[in-house]
A and B are shown apart, each in its own frame.
Chain A
Amino acid sequence: MTGHHISTNKMLLQVAGALFLLTLLTVGIGYLQLPHPWAIIAAMGIAIFKATLVALFFMNLWWDKRFNAILLLSALGFFSLLVGLTLLDTLYRVPIIPEF
């Protein structure tokens, strides 16, 4: 079969090394106890960056047929809909139901 991307050892090692360092970075930032919105922004920013590295270079989306990347993005789109529509309810709920 032709046309398959074969990753080099060096590239895979670099991605794994980056993921290791980013893990240690996010733990380090956790210990800093940043003020309220920044801690979660930093943690999620690093997590999204790590996930992107895995998807692009371990799951080969970078070299793959674009359709597979579109599938992944569609999953994220539907997930955003789920969270967005749910929060439109739960964030603005008048506390009629006592605590649940």
Chain B
Amino acid sequence: MANDSTATSQPKFLQHHFVDAEQQFDSAKMGMWVFLVTEILFFGGLFAAYIVYRAWYPDLFVEASIELNTVLGTINTLVLIGSSFTVAMAIRAAQLNQQKKIVINLAITIFLACVFMVIKYFEWTHKFHLGIYPGQFYTFEGIPHPKASVFFSLYFLMTGLHGIHVLVGIGLMIWLLKRTFNGEFSSKYFTPIEITGLYWHLVDIIWIFLFPLFYLIE
């Protein structure tokens, strides 16, 4: 990190192995995109499983989807879109050096993410209450289809993995808040907010697909 010859001209955030702040920013951002590629393929395995099973048992998905609450799913979609908007606003605030607005937008994002998880908690516990568990633990008798548990195994795996990503996102936002309070971000350096934003938008995009695939099959 220490590079005495240029220490006076280099900003504190600039690592010595980068030519300048611009190159450091672009590298970080590209690295994040490479990570998002692995994330897409990580979820992609589950989406592939979904497609295979839906092709095998089209009737199952129509029958089982009725158990999911479309209203709660819609509210959660709007909540996540709202949080994507506030993250984008937080990045804008950082670019314009508006410290207070970074804090406000990150705080709203954390709040919306928590609302999402609370709604998800009520949805999941309601299912558990009915005996709708993944795999062999499935005991619900309300759906006549013999493969009913397959739909809910996919549901719990996909929304569960997505939920874990939301929780990680909340942790990242809290970390960003702390660093904002430390005064680390400005129009010159906002890389962590930018790439956390990319992650958060991807989590939003995943949900944009999960929502119609599970909730909107009538």
Q: A residues engaging B (CB < 8 A)?
A: 1-4, 6-7, 9, 12-13, 15-16, 19-20, 23-24, 26-27, 30-31, 33, 39, 43-44, 46-47, 50-51, 54-55, 58-59, 64-65, 67-68, 71-72, 74-76, 78-79, 82-83, 86-87, 90-91
Given contacts A1-B188, A72-B36, A79-B41, contact A51 B52 (CB under 8 A): no
* Chain A min CB distance to B203 (Å): 10
Total A-B contacts with CB atoms under 8 angstroms apart: 132
CA A3 – CA B26 in complex, angstroms? 11
Chain A neighbourhood of B92, CB < 8 A: 6-7, 9, 12
If over half of A's interface residues share one DSSP class (helix, strand or loop), that class is named, otherwise mixed; here it is: helix
The answer to whether B212 and A12 have CB atoms under 8 Å apart is no
Interface size on B, residues (CB 8 A): 52
User: By the criterion CB–CB under 8 Å, are A71 and B41 in contact?
Assistant: no
Contacts of A58 in B (CB 8 A): 84-85, 87-88, 197, 201, 204
Given contacts A1-B188, A4-B95, A30-B70, contact A55 B88 (CB under 8 A): no
Instruction: Say whether, besides A44-B212, A58-B201, A82-B48, A39 and B88 are in contact (CB < 8 Å).
Output: no
With a cutoff of 8 Å between Cβ atoms, the chain A residues found around residue B201 in the complex are 54-55, 58-59
Contacts of A30 in B (CB 8 A): 70, 212, 215-218
Contact with B218, one of A12, A31, A46, A83 (Cβ below 8 angstroms):
A31
Task: Confirm or deny: B119 has a beta carbon within 8 angstroms of a beta carbon on chain A.
Answer: no
Question: 8 Å CB contacts to A: which residues of B182-218?
Answer: 187-188, 197-198, 201-202, 204-205, 208-209, 211-213, 215-218
List residues of chain A with CB within 8 A of the CB of B209: 47, 51
Cβ of A58 to closest chain B Cβ, rounded Å: 5
Contact A86 B52 (CB under 8 A): yes
Report the nearest A residue to B22, measured CB to CB.
A1
Is B30 located at the chain interface by the 8 A CB criterion?
yes
B residues less than 8 Å from A71 (CB atoms)? 30, 33-34, 36-37
Most buried by A among B29, B36, B48: B48
User: In the bound complex, do residue B84 and residue A54 qualify as a contact, i.e. CB atoms below 8 Å apart?
Assistant: yes
- Asked if A3 and B22 make an inter-chain contact with CB atoms under 8 angstroms apart, the answer reads yes
